[in-house]
Amino acid sequence: MLKSQNGNPRLLLPVIILLVVCFCASCKLTPTEYDGPVASYNAYIDSSQKQFVLDSIESLILDDYVIPENLKNLPDKLDFSHFGQENDPFLFARSVTNQLRAASNDKHLLLFYDSSMVKRVIFERQIGEDWNNAANYSAYLKNKQVGKERNFEFEKLEILPGNVGYLKFNRFAAFEDAKDVIDASFQFLSNSDAVIVDLRHNYGGHVNSLDWVLSYFLENDDFMFYRKRRERNPIRYIAFNEKKHEKLTRVPVFVLISPSTASAAEILAHAVQEKNRGLVVGETSWGGAHACSMMVINDAFALLLPRSAIHGAVTNQNWEAIGVKPDIELKDVNAVNETYALALDSLIKTEKDSSKKAFQIHARDLLEYKLQRFNQDYKPQNWTEFTGTYKDLEIFQADGRLYVYNQARVPVEMIPLEKDRFYSVRSSKDILEFLRDKAGRINAVKYKTFKGKFRVYKKN
């Protein structure tokens, strides 16, 4: 029994081993350190209770851990005198986790001390005669509500200039909960000419949601990946999605990853990469390529146990403790804009429609300013050569900035893209390009719209 520090017993359920297959990991977890919650809430765990938990863990990992040889550094017998001497159950769980990971180098092994999670899982899986009691149901409802309030971790969705779709989400939530949000997101993206999927802070989640999302980018019946358990035949995952938008199976895909990209998110990135469905950009991912099951030990402790290894459909590669390496390395500081630039470059290179191509080129020009690739020596004090009257355009300098009067005689600031090229702050669709004669003197300005149309104004 778990006891409070005042000695009052708290009844434990009999040992329950509950298998919940999922691909999940916290992006904050490293192979040897778990930085979980430490508040004790006045809880206390004695030596007999700790040994009960360790005996359960030992039995589980010896019977069903994915790669038994990884545990060769574990002692023959897990004993609380070596594993988790703390009497605070939070600290005990952390200590056991760290030592299991140090012995196995497996990033998924994790001992939870979380009675609310156990209650929720018992309700979801209908474990025991009293599975639907008020406490279990309350924990289940609370988890559902938190998911809704966070929009199931779908953070950002937009269409960038040049018709490039951008989607950022941070978890593969349970499929039955998140399906409508997933479908709505991809409906929004369905007319994009390229798609950026930002998984830099996605820590994994449920395989059914992963399967559904990945299927949006692949043809139905395409072999995506497989997982292999000890002494069992592999389980293959095949693309299928009746909500599929055919255009999304053909457009260029760019997947952004980082060291915080974990587990199920890594599966998506790896599949896109090895099937040549798109480019993976960013930094090497977390390195969690094991599928896990949640093993509920009692009413407070549960073990996340890796039970099968994930492998690529093409290369058979498993990236556990290695990570998915990007095709193009980008640091996180400006990764979205850099990836956006790659997407626009890809579209400009292949676009045959002159009107669409002009729009893409225009978007790429504007992006140059955000990327700060214009000449850094191009200072405001040098801008006086651009001022003057160009037919009916008046360009002037004030407060160290360059302005042009629009038709309503309202001054509009012009921002440099690069030497001799500016865009309008008020209407970013407008670009001014100053033209020079053979002597290098500015003698005209070319005004270009986002449709690619332009007009040249000679300097008076």
Q: What is the largest CA-CA distance in the chain?
A: 93
**Residue 265 C-beta-side C-alpha neighbours within 13 Å:** 33
Tell me the CATH number at 218: 3.90.226.10
Q: Could you tell me if 133 and 205 lie in one domain?
A: no
Same domain, 210 and 315: yes
For residue 361, give the DSSP letter: H
Same domain, 61 and 159: no
Q: Are residues 39 and 173 in the same domain?
A: no
User: Which residues, listed in sequence order, are joined to residue 424 by a DSSP beta bridge?
Assistant: 414
**Domain containing residue 394: CATH number:** 2.40.128
Phi, psi at 253, each rounded to 5°: -120, 135
Q: By C-alpha distance, which of 285, 274, 271, 268 is closest to 320?
A: 285
Q: By CB neighbour count within 10 A (0-12 exposed, 13-18 middle, 19+ buried), where does 205 fall?
A: buried
215, 248 in Cβ contact below 8 A?
A: no
387 vs 398: CA distance, rounded Å: 10
Report the pLDDT value the prediction gives residue 77, as an integer from 0 to 100: 67
Other C-beta atoms closer than 10 Å to the C-beta of 404 total 23
Q: Do 137 and 191 share a structural domain? A: no
The pLDDT assigned to 224 comes to 97
Q: Report the alpha-carbon distance of residue 300 to residue 459 in Å, rounded.
A: 79
Give the pLDDT of residue 18: 41
Q: Which of 358, 347, 345 is nearest to 450 (CA)?
A: 358
Task: Decide if 59 is inside a domain.
Answer: yes
Q: Where are the alpha helices (DSSP H) in 105-253?
A: 115-125, 134-149, 175-189, 207-215
Decide if 258 contacts 284 (C-beta within 8 A). no
DSSP per residue, 95-142: HHHHHHHHHH--SS-EEEE-HHHHHHHHHHHT-STTTT-HHHHHHHHH
Residue 398 falls inside a structural domain: yes
221 within some domain = yes
Containing structural domain, residue 412: 375-458
d(CA 46, CA 54): 12
Using the structure block, give the residue that is written with the tokens 């930094």.
283
Name 396's bridge partners: 403
CA–CA distance, 389 with 27 (Å, rounded to integer): 57
pLDDT, residue 281, reads: 98
**Final residue before a domain boundary, out of 104, 124, 146:** 146
> Which pLDDT does position 397 carry in this prediction?
85
Are residue 156 and residue 141 in the same domain, yes or no?
A: no
The Cβ-side half-sphere exposure at 326, using a 13 Å CA radius, reads 23
The per-residue pLDDT for 251 is 97
392 and 333, same domain (yes or no) = no
Cα(first)–Cα(last) distance of the chain, in Å?
92
Identify the bridge partners of residue 304 per DSSP, sorted by sequence position: 110, 294
In a domain, 364, yes or no: no
Judge whether 366 lies within some domain.
no
Q: Are 375 and 369 in contact (CB under 8 A)?
A: no
**pLDDT at site 416:** 78
Which tokens go with 343?
């997407």
**CB-CB neighbours of 227 under 10 Å:** 23
Residue 459 carries which DSSP code? Answer: B
Same structural domain for residues 247 and 179?
Answer: yes
- Copy the structure tokens of residue 405: 């009067």
- The number of folded domains in the chain is 3
Per-residue pLDDT of the chain (460 residues; tens, 9 = 90+): 333 334 443 334 334 434 434 444 333 222 233 344 333 345 788 889 999 999 999 899 888 999 888 777 777 667 667 776 788 898 899 889 888 888 888 889 999 999 999 999 889 888 788 999 999 999 999 999 999 999 999 999 999 999 999 999 999 999 999 999 999 999 999 999 999 999 998 999 999 999 999 999 999 999 999 999 988 899 999 999 888 899 999 999 999 999 989 999 999 999 999 999 999 999 999 999 999 988 889 999 999 999 999 999 999 999 999 999 999 999 877 899 999 999 999 999 999 999 899 899 989 988 876 776 544 445 555 678 899 988 878 888 877 778 887 655 667 778 777 778 887 765 555 788 899 999 989 999 988 765 566 788 899 8
pLDDT at 372: 62
The reply to whether 300 falls in a domain is: no
24 part of a folded domain: yes
User: Does residue 187 sit in the same domain as residue 325?
Assistant: yes
Tokens of 440: 């290098």
Residues 157 and 141 in one domain: no
HSE on the CB side for 164, CA within 13 Å? 29
Give yes or no: residues 88 and 232 share one domain: no
Let me know whether 207 and 326 are in one domain.
yes
Between CA 26 and CA 30, with CA 29 as vertex, the angle to 5 degrees is 145
42 is a domain residue = yes
How many Å apart are CA 152 and CA 9, to the nearest integer? 37
